[in-house]
Amino acid sequence: MDLIQASLQFDQRRQSGLERSEGECENAEHSGSPLEGKKAKALHREAARRSSLWKMREARTRLHEGSFRRGDFVWVAGPVVSCVVEASYDPRKVDHVWIDLHAGDQDVIRIALNTCSLKNRYAGFDSRVRLGGIISPWQELPAAGIRKCQSLDYAKIEAESSVVYVEQEQRALEELLLEKAHRAVAIEGWGEYYVRENAGIHQLHSRRGSFGMPTDFVGRDGAVQFYFDEPRTRELLLFKFAGQP
């Protein structure tokens, strides 16, 4: 399903939900009960919230429509706008750190970095991320923006550089990524493009088969690179899960 079809379906669901809310508001307002009057105000606020969220989504979809589609493998770069641990009503489902970048004219793009593997956890395997890093000097920062790219393969990187992978506890990895994001003057990332309530990239890890997800996607590995000012170094981080070569 492409973005246009998804947007149309979302609009239909949104409109149906708003109509239900408006109908409930009218019924409550005409009931004459103070309690129902409060209910009407609450429903009005909820309808306004839904409308606001839709407008935000619609604006972001228009921004990228025609350029990128869900699942495109892309490169993104820019300065950090914000960085937080993923928000969820269920702490057991938290498995990302979110880093928002200002990607030039393409507005804010979110990078979703895995801090554990829920698929491995649910399958009874080690859920920890195995983290590898390569540090090198930089001469100039990457230009802010987002574009499609051909591929990224950990095997080729590992053939050219010695990479040691170390298991990371989830909380420690969250703190590590947040600390690096706060210090970075720019970040670039490689991953799959998506649009939900925001536009971003995810799957910034090895896409080879793991214990919890045996499917192989060769040449679609994701990664993130932090650029630091003092000292002027960049750090490429590679993410693997248990069972990945």
Q: For the residues 84-106, what does the mean pLDDT come to?
A: 91
**Residue 35 pLDDT:** 58
Q: What proportion of the chain, given as a percentage, has pLDDT over 70?
A: 73
pLDDT, one tens digit per residue, over 159-212 is 999 999 999 999 999 999 999 999 999 999 999 999 987 899 999 999 999 999
pLDDT at 93 over 60: yes
Q: For the residues 57-63, what does the mean pLDDT come to?
A: 49
**Residue 15 pLDDT:** 47
Q: What is the mean pLDDT of the chain?
A: 83
pLDDT, one tens digit per residue, over 110-148 is 999 999 999 999 999 999 999 999 999 999 999 999 999
**Residue 106 pLDDT:** 61
Q: Which residue has the higher pLDDT, 117 or 18?
A: 117
Number of residues written out for the chain = 245
**Residue 107 pLDDT:** 82
| C-alpha atoms less than 13 angstroms from C-alpha of 145 in its C-beta half-sphere | 7
**Residue 25 pLDDT:** 46
**Residue 68 pLDDT:** 83
Q: pLDDT-based confidence at 89, cuts 50/70/90?
A: confident
pTM as predicted: 0.74
pLDDT at 18 over 50: no
pLDDT at 7 over 70: no
pLDDT at 84 over 60: yes
pLDDT at 53 over 80: no
**Residue 70 pLDDT:** 87
**Residue 39 pLDDT:** 64
